[in-house]
Amino acid sequence: MLTIKDLSVRYPTGTLALDGVSLSLAAGEFVAIVGPSGCGKSTLLKVAAGLLAPTEGSVAKTSDHIGFVFQDPTLLPWRSVRKNVELIGELRGMSRDDRQKAATEAIAKVGLSDFAQDRPSTLSGGMRMRASLARTLITRPELMLFDEPFGALDELTRAKLCDDVQTLFVADQFAGLLVTHSISEAVYLAERVLVMTDRPGRFAGEVPVPFDYPRPPDIRYTPEFAKTTAGVYSLLQPPSTSEDGK
Ligand SMILES: Nc1ncnc2c1ncn2[C@@H]1O[C@H](COP(=O)(O)OP(=O)(O)O)[C@@H](O)[C@H]1O
Ligand SMILES: [Mg+2]
């Protein structure tokens, strides 16, 4: 689905954001990336989406049907949920019937059918994020890129939205690449978790997640889950040196 080889990105300001990153994502696979703030995670997703060109290295995709979900739901405030969800269909020249049907379906999938006529300002943060997900789903993406999509939400809403993303993933079978700084979110959703180092970002390692889908929400409280999150956490720690503690 997505193959990135020896990718380096240097911004015009001189900042080297990524240095020699390789990654491959199979169709229908869900991979999470965790790493410290500023290590180049968003840069990597932008390159994957084709929004930013590599300085060095290559990016290959088998599909251009890409959905991008950001932390900010970026809904148009003067449009209803339905009209926001229809927007990308409008821009892509889908017929009115097709986009209305697709919007109805996408809105139902994220549980917002009763709020389709409402404006974003009347919705909670979690509901706005659902509307943003529905808007992305309308194009039936084969690759979904998530850039810390739930970072601004409270813990309960966040956990519920993770469940919803998993349900959508199991139903629609897109490939998913999720950037998050929540280790438990990464382990809950992904088949493997890639850990990035401080900038310039490289991969410090990878932790496989030993659970099948669908995963019940309370899997988060099992010893196996804790062991997996501990594995990710240990990769995030910088290697200790003999000077430590002095
Ligand atoms: N448009 C830009 N121009 C210059 N530097 C940038 C730009 N975008 C990001 N950076 C820098 O590149 C590094 C990686 O940024 P980013 O990919 O946003 O990190 P992350 O998403 O992991 O927090 C940071 O040091 C950031 O300041
Ligand atoms: Mg970022």
30: enclosing H helix or E strand: strand 30-34
The pLDDT value recorded for residue 215 is 96
Ligand 1 atom showing the smallest separation from residue 147 Cα:
21
CA-proximal residue: ligand 1, atom 18 (nearest): 42
Give the architecture (CATH level 2) of 2-65+141-236. 3-Layer(aba) Sandwich (3.40)
CA-proximal residue: ligand 1, atom 24 (nearest): 38
| 5: its two tokens | 């080889």
Q: What are phi and psi of 90, to 5 degrees?
A: -60, -50
Using the predicted structure, report yes or no on whether residue 11 has a pLDDT greater than 70.
Answer: yes
In the chain, ranges of CATH 3.40.50.300 domains: 2-65+141-236
The pLDDT value recorded for residue 238 is 67
Using the predicted structure, report yes or no on whether residue 149 has a pLDDT greater than 60.
Answer: yes
Confidence of residue 244 (pLDDT cuts 50, 70, 90): very low
Strand, coil or helix: 142: coil
**Strand segments (E) across 174-243:** 175-179, 192-196, 203-208
The CA–CA distances, whole Å, from 170 to 175, 214, 230, 245 equal 10, 7, 26, 47
**Ligand showing the shortest atom-to-Cα distance for residue 46:** 1
Using the predicted structure, report yes or no on whether residue 34 has a pLDDT greater than 90.
Answer: yes
CA-closest candidate to residue 166, choices 212, 131, 127, 225: 212
